[in-house]
Structure 1
Amino acid sequence: MGNVQLSADYMMTKLSEAKVHFERALDCKHTEFDDLYPYMIEHPQFFWYKRYVAWSELLTIVKLLSELSMEWKSIFTDQQVEYIERRVMSSKVLDDWFEKNDTKEHVG
């Protein structure tokens, strides 16, 4: 395993990937998790668990960026930043992650 320098660009790419992963999980779209656990699709708790995994990944990367004193808030709305800072994935996060008046489309 080589030494990887944690540049700001690298970390922002990882943050962006984690955000997309979480948003795809919210929209019940295919993610890497589906490939790892294809049998889970048959179980009702699958989508909740898939969202939890993606949320945990997002929080972990945000925590690393915070510990490294690196900016992470710029790719999120103010409401999303508030959810992340609370750290709890509640039904409000699931229901309101994509703001109603937001002009952005859900991830494709």
Structure 2
Amino acid sequence: MGNLNAEFLLSKLAGAKEHFERALDCKHTEFDDLYPYMIEHPQFFWYKRYVAWSELLTIVKLSEELGVDWRKQFSQKQADYVTGRVMSSRVLDEWYETNDSKEHVG
């Protein structure tokens, strides 16, 4: 695969990771703009996180199929969660390594 295509895919991966982390942190994402009426729904943040997680998994799957190393964009624990594919409460609670090293999206 050419460097340009790999760079493109890695930039999309970085965007998907940021989108998921913004959803985790309850920050604004494009999902809010697409479904503004859902903000009042009690399950809104769950849906928002699910959409972001699905996007992340899709780009990881494409990366794997195209032979692009996606793991270096994540901590080992995060890569393990992504490989496991299931968004559990543990993933939501432990995505960031520790409270001291949280790198929340600004």
| TM-score bin (small chain) | over 0.9
Counting only pairs closer than 5 Å after superposition, residues 1-108 of structure 1 correspond to structure 2 as 7-100=5-98, 103-108=101-106
TM-score by length of 1: 0.91
Shift of 1:101: 5.8
Structure 1: how far apart are the matches of 2:33 and 2:99? 33
Structure 1: how far apart are the matches of 2:80 and 2:74? 10
TM-score by length of 2: 0.93
Structure 1: how far apart are the matches of 2:77 and 2:103? 16
Structure 2: how far apart are the matches of 1:47 and 1:100? 22
Residues paired across the two proteins, number: 103
Percent of aligned pairs sharing the same letter:
71
Structure 2: how far apart are the matches of 1:44 and 1:13? 33
Structure 2: how far apart are the matches of 1:72 and 1:28? 25
Amino acid at match of 2:46: W
Is the helix fraction higher in 1 or 2? 2
Deviations 1:27-78 (A, max 9, x none): 0000000000000000010000000000000000000000011110001000
Shift of 1:105: 2.2
Structure 2: how far apart are the matches of 1:10 and 1:85? 21
What's the RMSD between the two structures over aligned residues?
Answer: 1.2
